[in-house]
Amino acid sequence: MRCRGGWQEVTALGRGRQAAAAAVLVAVTLLSGCGGSGTGGEPGGGSAAATARPSMKDGVQVFTLEGTTELTFSPRTLLAAPGRIRIDFSVPAGSAPHNAVLLDIAGARSPIISAGQSGSFAFEVRQPGEYRLVCTIHPNMLGTLAVG
């Protein structure tokens, strides 16, 4: 009897360790999905940055935008002032093709960009407001151009 009780105690301890190991494995798996090979929020970093402000080149606001492998835009929100805007759009190797279309601004769209490729498009915005950004291939892939 005593040996059997000892065996049950060891089994219970083993099950507890298995549960703890499983919990650690789940936590590591979930957390690793938030990162990537680069710094979070940077293109290729595995997570979409929240917002970005443009650099200026010859009086044009210039944004770098990526269509990610996770079917998101990085950054998700572009903060601009009224005026001329250029978006340099890229799609990393290993990703599905994407495009970037500002639905409420005529002509503000990229062509479809394949994995490992990039392109640019320029336009002018005179009215402050929030403009919807979408990949028309992946309609749940959304972003915003906020002009203030």
46-70 residue pLDDT tens: 456 799 999 999 999 999 999 999 9
- Determine the pLDDT at residue 47: 54
Structural contact between residues 50 and 77, judged by C-beta atoms closer than 8 angstroms: yes
Annotation: CATH topology of 51-147: Immunoglobulin-like (2.60.40)
Write down the domain spans for the chain: 1-32, 51-147
The Cβ of residue 85 has, within 10 Å, a number of other Cβ atoms equal to: 23
- Determine the pLDDT at residue 130: 98
Residues belonging to the chain? 148
In this prediction, the residues of the chain whose per-residue pLDDT falls under 70 are 1-48
Q: Whole-prediction pTM value?
A: 0.68
CA distance 30 to 47: 13
- Determine the pLDDT at residue 66: 98
The candidate with the shortest Cα–Cα distance to 41, out of 15, 65, 16, is 65
- Determine the pLDDT at residue 34: 33
